[in-house]
Amino acid sequence: MVSYRRTKRILVTGGAGFLGSHLCERLLGQGHEILCVDNFFTGTRRNVEHLLDNTRFELLRHDVTFPLYVEVDEIYNLACPASPVHYQFDPVQTTKTSVHGTINVLGLAKRVKAKALQASTSEVYGDPEMHPQAEHYWGRVNPIGPRSCYDEGKRCAETLFFDYHRQHGLPIKVARIFNTYGPRMHPDDGRVVSNFVVQALSNQDITIYGDGRQTRSFCYVDDLIQGLIALMETDSTVTGPINLGNPGEFTVRELAELVVELTGSRSEIVHKPLPQDDPRQRKPDIERAKRALDWHPTIELREGLVRTIEYFRTQIAA
Ligand SMILES: NC(=O)c1ccc[n+]([C@@H]2O[C@H](COP(=O)([O-])OP(=O)(O)OC[C@H]3O[C@@H](n4cnc5c(N)ncnc54)[C@H](O)[C@@H]3O)[C@@H](O)[C@H]2O)c1
């Protein structure tokens, strides 16, 4: 328990999603009061069901594209569908969530003098010419493609955060999150880890898009949450953007083979055409996070996958 004076009222938008639910859980564990706001587009009540009995936890169904009037000390803005199948389902709503949603969150932060943290993404780097991607790199993003609703929405959200900071002196933090995986990922979200694990556990073919030589980095959810909280706790001189992710780089083929090994699956690996604008390489440069937050990921891919596979096994059995 923390003393009353150190207890913060914290708003987590998108709190019933994959990352949001872990964040709510961790902040609640630190003794804070949590207001979890979600429109349940991709998140579910089930993700936070185990928190509902806690008197310091409140769940509110609300769409962040509409204003919200509450009293809080800190805001983590995570609301936004994160996987291509979900954000391309209603691309206009995706951009609205990032842009209108962020304006509403920042308006609220300004009114109640709260600190605001934006869950941005490595997708702001687009299909990068720079490898690994450091924060000073401005990115190579297609503004009119099928991924643009997400990438450009997130880029605009970063702009809004920095303009509120410059124009109104708002304390802000911007985290650029790289590929994160773990329990409570949506089983049908088409993201590579959940896809492979679900396919392997049901002994279906494992689909690799392209030749499988494209690389990805995979950060386990507990490491990521640790990084987000560490960033929020920095003093006002640290605004970010700060990359948070695991710099370990694996080809998609290596990931598929590891999942087959750890699940003991009989699945075959098959190939399908690469979708448009699929990035060839993704690897965070986390030097800034190491220096500013004294943070680095500690959970190896193999260990994180074992925990994730365990979660999906129970979900499939249920
Ligand atoms: N998981 C990753 O690898 C990753 C990587 C980079 C960035 N991010 C960012 O982190 C955040 C959380 O991602 P996630 O992986 O947990 O995805 P998620 O889809 O599980 O979570 C997003 C949550 O936001 C909610 N939401 C969507 N639109 C909303 C709206 N208009 N109003 C209120 N709630 C809304 C959804 O219902 C869901 O609960 C997102 O902003 C995402 O862009 C995630």
Q: Answer yes or no: is the C-beta of 182 below 6 A from any ligand 1 atom.
A: no
Q: Decide: residue 55, CB within 10 A, 0-12 exposed, 13-18 middle, 19+ buried.
A: exposed
Q: Answer yes or no: is the C-beta of 101 below 6 A from any ligand 1 atom.
A: yes
Kindly report the protein residue whose alpha carbon is nearest to atom 28 of ligand 1.
Answer: 80
Please give the pLDDT value at position 4. Answer: 56
Q: Is the dihedral of CA 7, 233, 299, 208 positive or negative?
A: positive
CA separation, residue 246 to residues 33, 55, 222, 302 (Å)? 29, 35, 12, 13
d(CA 100, CA 128): 27
d(CA 309, CA 300): 14
Segments of the chain with pLDDT less than 50: 1
Q: What is the pLDDT of residues 53-86, one digit of tens each?
A: 999 999 999 999 999 999 999 999 999 999 999 9
Please give the pLDDT value at position 5. Answer: 57
Question: Which active-site residues does the annotation give?
Answer: 150
Q: Is the dihedral of CA 217, 177, 232, 9 positive or negative?
A: negative
d(CA 91, CA 151): 11
Q: What is the pLDDT of residues 206-257, one digit of tens each?
A: 999 999 998 899 999 999 999 999 999 999 999 999 999 999 999 999 999 9
Q: Answer yes or no: is the C-beta of 44 below 6 A from any ligand 1 atom.
A: no
Helices 221-232 and 18-29: angle between axes, nearest 10 degrees: 60
d(CA 178, CA 224): 9
Domains and CATH numbers, the chain: 9-184+219-246+284-298 (3.40.50.720)
